[in-house]
Amino acid sequence: MEFNGPNSVPTGRPMTWYKTTFKTPESTESLVLDLEGLGKGHAWVNGQSIGRYWPTMVADENGCSDTCDYRGNYGPERCVSGCGEPSQRFYHVPRSFLNNDTNTLILFEEMGGNPSNVSVQKLQLVLFVQLQIMEAP
């Protein structure tokens, strides 16, 4: 996805508008807008608000562990995951917001991010169901 602009796209500048177009992916899978590289702002697809984003709001880098055990008393340090990662990076794009061919993405970046890694991705949801059979004593 390439953003329109004179020569090169400005990056790292707060209060900047970005505009680009993208083709509607051929599928019926859910779509997400990956806002990697952006700071804080608002996104629109074809004039419809996708919402505010803030991927630079990252989880604390300390406290993550490879194991997780929920047994015992709860504490905020239990099962910490995603350390150093954004609290949210992917934003749902309803298919009803899309045109049949070309779509317009508008971003208003408040903090000064870099839109070069922004993309639209297909998301395949897989439902896992675990059945537990209890035997009578």
* Model confidence at 99: pLDDT above 90: yes
Q: What pLDDT is stored for residue 93 in this prediction?
A: 96
* Model confidence at 95: pLDDT above 90: yes
Instruction: Return d(Cα 71, Cα 66) in angstroms, integer.
Output: 16
Average pLDDT over residues 34-45: 94
At residue 1 the predicted structure's pLDDT band, cuts being 50, 70 and 90, is low
Per-chain mean pLDDT for the chain:
83
Instruction: Return d(Cα 106, Cα 90) in angstroms, integer.
Output: 16
Q: What pLDDT is stored for residue 61 in this prediction?
A: 67
Q: What pLDDT is stored for residue 17 in this prediction?
A: 95
